[in-house]
Amino acid sequence: MLYKGKDVRRLSQPLLNQAARRYFSGQAPRLLARGGRRRGRSGEGRRSELRFIGFPAGSRGATRLRMRLSHVLSERLRLRFGPVCTMLRTSFLRLLGRTGASKLSLLEDFGPRYYGSGSLSARDDASDARAYFTTPIFYVNAAPHIGHLYSALLADALCRHRRLRSPSTAATRFSTGTDEHGLKIQQAAATAGLAPTELCDRISEQFQQLFQEAGISCTDFIRTTEARHRVAVQQFWGVLKSRGLLYKGLYEGWYCASDECFLPEAKVTWQPGPSGDSLPVSLESGHPVSWTKEENYIFRLSQFREPLQRWLRGNPQAITPEPFHHVVLQWLDEELPDLSVSRRSSHLHWGIPVPGDDSQTIYVWLDALVNYLTVIGYPNAEFKFWWPATSHIIGKDILKFHAIYWPAFLLGAGMSPPQRIYVHSHWTVCGQKMSKSLGNVVDPRTCLNRYTVDGFRYFLLRQGVPNWDCDYYDEKVVKLLNSELADALGGLLNRCTAKRINPSETYPAFCTNCFPSEPGLVGPSVRAQAEDYALVSAVATLPKRVADHYDNFQIYKALEAVSSCVRQTNGFVQRHAPWKLNWDSPVDAPWLSTVLHVALECLRVFGTLLQPVTPSLADKLLSRLGVSVSERSLGKLYFLPRFYGHPCPFEGRRLGPETGVLFPKLDQSRTWVVKAHRT
């Protein structure tokens, strides 16, 4: 069997991976079939193997093979197809290892080319029919800002995409909440002259309102001051204690109340304070630190250095994007000291008492991290349904707590570490860190009002890059939304649905004579050009590309890919200028109808794929196209079926009612930096 003219048994690993990837994305059949025709020369290519690769549509063999492929990694497959299969299987395993979320797509049962989402992944199967997404729980010392909203939006988009992928089979849970204990909150309440509970209620309410307004589709909202959480934390503590992982000892060192963490000497520096004296601050955050010396309970963290290294080395996808995974492994190269996990209650009273020892309060990070278990029912056994099918979405500043402390606590308690940790960077404002003291905090509710919920969701997710910090300013929002949502996407919808161009207000028919499925054919009725085939191919592969970007936590790249296809579709419409074609002309009409059909099909794909990011806008778009709610999942997204010789359920269907512009253009002259909204 040949791939790119080479015997697949002798392919280099990168080429083999490419073959496997292409095979799964549906691009390979023709390439490999070509190899098959030359099988005499290669000395390979038994018919069964050719079919395995070539996927002749509709053949019994193909159906059988497709079924078998749903067990890609099965031994039977290996036995049946011999060495070539073993190599591909190895390659798939490597791909799985490399991509982690590993969404390898299988072709749908409709023909040799990939044109729907139909994405099936090794992890979407039975054992993975559940997915539990979490945001960090937010401190209630101050009102929410756009950075907090961004954390929640990333989780929301991942979760919505997941639901879209497997709406009927998968059980999805999505939790968020507020982190209400600890010195930071105790001090903030004292400064505000409020009882801690009053401050917690007030700010927690603000987070809940914000998330509701922003369409965060959480299934759970937890507050660490709830009774169920206290039970979970104390139980968890008891398990660590019974396993001999907690001991009492003297802790002496620096503590940063703002970051709620202990710091080694090397992480502290001295800076001039307001009155000119030199004050100790955290090197990383710049927040003040104070010297602490007291008897505490200490967790044997040092015992977990090697288990953590093994976990991370064995799960290269555990922390995404990769640079963060690497950073954690680097941290683990150094010594891991034991960790103080309680404070004297006389110093910290606002927290959960150590069971059996009221003189100590449990360290707020241990308290906070256990929220992920409380939500799913811990300590009742029901939590095992969800754990560890967990994806934590966190900001880079809290990586150490989630990637070292938390997995160590879990391992210590006899549980598995979370499946995945997705890490994002921060938003700055005009190049500066957002902070209450600098007065540059951007209020997310003002932004949602100004730019609409969908507009602002789109902006944050389209511009936010997990690997790097991003700078916020209003002009950027206006430019992006006007160009991508109002002009490109809204304009496209308008062009293809306006009454003057589509007087029957129906989903027009596709004419295969005008747009044959084989490029390069010539004939009197053929109108499609090479670029049009490129468009079809780009949109056909879009759902898979988008899914891969979601798996790699690069949502901005998913949106970039959609946006690029929107541009390409506008180019298609511009090229064929349907407004110059005449419905009454028997020559023009089938082509005019085809142009509109293709453009609407593209729009249907865009609308479907945008649902996780801009749910209302996507709903408006899909409703206008007449796509019913049950036709909006990725599993049902069969792009342009007529092109592939299959019936199209939309053809001839009435479009939905016209409900105004898709996204109203923003006034460019009214740009200013949104100032803090103080509580």
- CA–CA distance, 518 with 502 (Å, rounded to integer): 27
- Closest approach of ligand MSP to the CB of residue 151, in Å: 4
Phi-psi bin for 5: left (phi > 0), alpha (psi -120 to 50), beta?
left
- Closest approach of ligand MSP to the CB of residue 423, in Å: 9
Q: How far is CA 544 from CA 166, 377, 463, 630, 635, in A?
A: 14, 35, 21, 20, 11
Contact (Cβ atoms closer than 8 angstroms) between residue 661 and residue 429: no
- Considering only 148, 229, 462, 557, the residue that binds ligand MSP (CB under 6 A) is 148
Binding status of residue 200 toward ligand MSP by CB under 6 A = no
493 three-class SS:
helix
- Considering only 105, 151, 172, 176, the residue that binds ligand MSP (CB under 6 A) is 151
Binding status of residue 394 toward ligand MSP by CB under 6 A = yes
- Considering only 179, 532, 548, 601, the residue that binds ligand MSP (CB under 6 A) is 179
254 membership: H or E segment, kind and range: strand 246-256
Question: 126: Cβ–Cβ under 8 A, 6 or more apart, which residues?
Answer: none
In the sheet that 353-354 helps form, which strands lie side by side, from edge to edge?
A: 342-344, 357-362, 353-354
Binding status of residue 162 toward ligand MSP by CB under 6 A = no
- Considering only 6, 68, 344, 426, the residue that binds ligand MSP (CB under 6 A) is 426
- CA–CA distance, 157 with 149 (Å, rounded to integer): 12
- CA–CA distance, 208 with 626 (Å, rounded to integer): 34
Binding status of residue 398 toward ligand MSP by CB under 6 A = yes
By C-beta, is 144 or 516 nearer to ligand MSP? 144
- How many whole angstroms from its chain centre is CA 610? 13
Point out which span in 9-17, 133-141, 542-550, 607-615 binds ligand MSP (CB under 6 A): 133-141
What's the residue count for the chain? Answer: 679
By C-beta, is 209 or 504 nearer to ligand MSP? 209
- Considering only 32, 72, 369, 511, the residue that binds ligand MSP (CB under 6 A) is 369
- Closest approach of ligand MSP to the CB of residue 392, in Å: 8
Q: What is the three-state SS of 436-463?
A: CCCCCCCCHHHHHHHHCHHHHHHHHHHH
Binding status of residue 111 toward ligand MSP by CB under 6 A = no
The pair of three-digit structure tokens given for residue 280, joined into one six-digit string: 């100790």
Interaction pattern, residues 339-368, with ligand MSP; x per rule: CB under 6 A = -----------------------------x
Binders of ligand MSP in range 458-517 (CB under 6 A):
none
Point out which span in 121-129, 426-434, 569-577, 609-617 binds ligand MSP (CB under 6 A): 426-434
Q: DSSP class of residue 481?
A: I
Binding status of residue 137 toward ligand MSP by CB under 6 A = yes
- Closest approach of ligand MSP to the CB of residue 421, in Å: 11
Phi-psi bin for 473: left (phi > 0), alpha (psi -120 to 50), beta?
beta
Binding status of residue 395 toward ligand MSP by CB under 6 A = yes
- Considering only 297, 324, 350, 427, the residue that binds ligand MSP (CB under 6 A) is 427
Q: How many residues bind ligand MSP (CB under 6 A)?
A: 19
Binding status of residue 436 toward ligand MSP by CB under 6 A = no
- Closest approach of ligand MSP to the CB of residue 395, in Å: 2
By C-beta, is 188 or 368 nearer to ligand MSP? 368
Binding status of residue 558 toward ligand MSP by CB under 6 A = no
Binding status of residue 301 toward ligand MSP by CB under 6 A = no
- Closest approach of ligand MSP to the CB of residue 449, in Å: 20
Burial of 487 (C-beta count, 10 Å sphere; 0-12/13-18/19+): middle
Question: What value, to the nearest 5°, has the Cα angle with vertex 542 and ends 538 and 547?
Answer: 155
438 three-class SS:
coil
Q: DSSP class of residue 508?
A: P
Binding status of residue 147 toward ligand MSP by CB under 6 A = yes
By C-beta, is 137 or 336 nearer to ligand MSP? 137
- Considering only 139, 363, 456, 643, the residue that binds ligand MSP (CB under 6 A) is 139
**Widest pairwise Cα distance in the chain:** 90
Contact (Cβ atoms closer than 8 angstroms) between residue 22 and residue 31: yes
- CA–CA distance, 1 with 46 (Å, rounded to integer): 8
By C-beta, is 115 or 472 nearer to ligand MSP? 472
- CA–CA distance, 165 with 174 (Å, rounded to integer): 16
- In the complex, which residues of this chain contact ligand MSP (CB under 6 A)? 136-139, 147-148, 150-151, 179, 368-369, 371, 394-395, 397-398, 426-427, 434
